[in-house]
Structure 1
Amino acid sequence: MTEWDIDPGGVESILSLVGLAAKDLSKDVRGYGRNVQDAAVSAGTISGPYCGEAPAGPVGAAVVNFVTDTQHKITFMAARAKKSMDGTVKATTEYIEGDLAMAARAQREAAKAPTPAELRAAGKPSGERDGK
């Protein structure tokens, strides 16, 4: 049988580090969005002089297409990280509650009155127990 050996304090420590990394990643993703937008606007065009807002050129359009094509991957990455962290918390909580439930069950069993078979076994000399 496989044994579990989960250290809730260790899990909490690792999750806090993952949380910090996720916060940094979130900042980077926001910066990525701003930087890509700036890059698309600043890429220029192959057209002549213009008045007002710059028309989108082929490089800017390619940058926008790239962002559109990769946006779902970035969203998935964030959702996956959150789901993994939430799952870890839930699994650790279930592990702790399972340990508590098993301990309570063992205590309830130990507190019960002995069965007739247990009484007979206790009354026999130690050499006669276990069918000897």
Structure 2
Amino acid sequence: MTGWRIEPEGVQTVLTKVGTAAELLGTAVENLPPHAETVVAGSANSPIIADAIAGFFEFYKPTLTSIGNRINASVGGAAAATLWYRTGDETMAAEQQAAAQTVAGTGVSTFTVPPVPGS
């Protein structure tokens, strides 16, 4: 790559849409346990059904956690990189972008933002 060409307003639009979609996903995931309880109750509290649903949640919990962490890291990295780009520090923008890519399944990245001019 020979240079950066970022449209901060376009980044903000995308990040807003991602945030909205992430909230919908989070709400859907949070609402899974009550739906599972309804399924178990509808099966006359069948132990086989209850065990299957518990196994499903146990198996997919790390995946769902990882998805949430990666969404947060991507949004944070893009926002921080764009702020650094706007201040003219392309090296720091690249570091923030790279930090978003290093999130482990259960880890969370932290980002730095440029200082406010005049402070």
Same fold, TM exceeding 0.5? yes
Superposed displacement of residue 40, structure 1? 2.8
Alignment partner of 2:49 out of 44, 59, 66: 59
Distance in structure 2 (CA, Å) of the matches to 1:40 and 1:84: 36
**CA pair 37-76 structure 1, distance change in 2 beyond 3 A:** farther
Q: What does 1:74-89 correspond to in 2, within 5 Å?
A: 74-89=64-79
- Contact 1:15-1:85 within 8 A present in 2 as well: yes
Q: What does 1:84-123 correspond to in 2, within 5 Å?
A: 84-98=74-88
Superposed displacement of residue 74, structure 1? 0.9
Q: Which gives a bigger RCO, structure 1 or 2 (Cα 8 Å, sep 6+)?
A: 2
Gaps of 5+ in 1: 45-53, 100-132
List, as ranges, runs of 4+ consecutive aligned residues in structure 1 with deviation greater than 3 Å.
Answer: none
Aligned to 1:6: 6
Aligned to 2:62: 72
Distance in structure 1 (CA, Å) of the matches to 2:17 and 2:71: 13
Higher helix proportion: 1
Give the TM-score taking structure 1 as reference length.
0.61
Superposed displacement of residue 12, structure 1? 0.5
Distance in structure 2 (CA, Å) of the matches to 1:76 and 1:37: 24
Structure with greater Cα Rg: 1
Gaps of 5+ in 2: 90-119
RMSD, matched Cα: 1.9
Superposed displacement of residue 37, structure 1? 2.6
Amino acid at match of 1:17: K
Distance in structure 2 (CA, Å) of the matches to 1:74 and 1:29: 8
Identity of aligned residues (%): 28
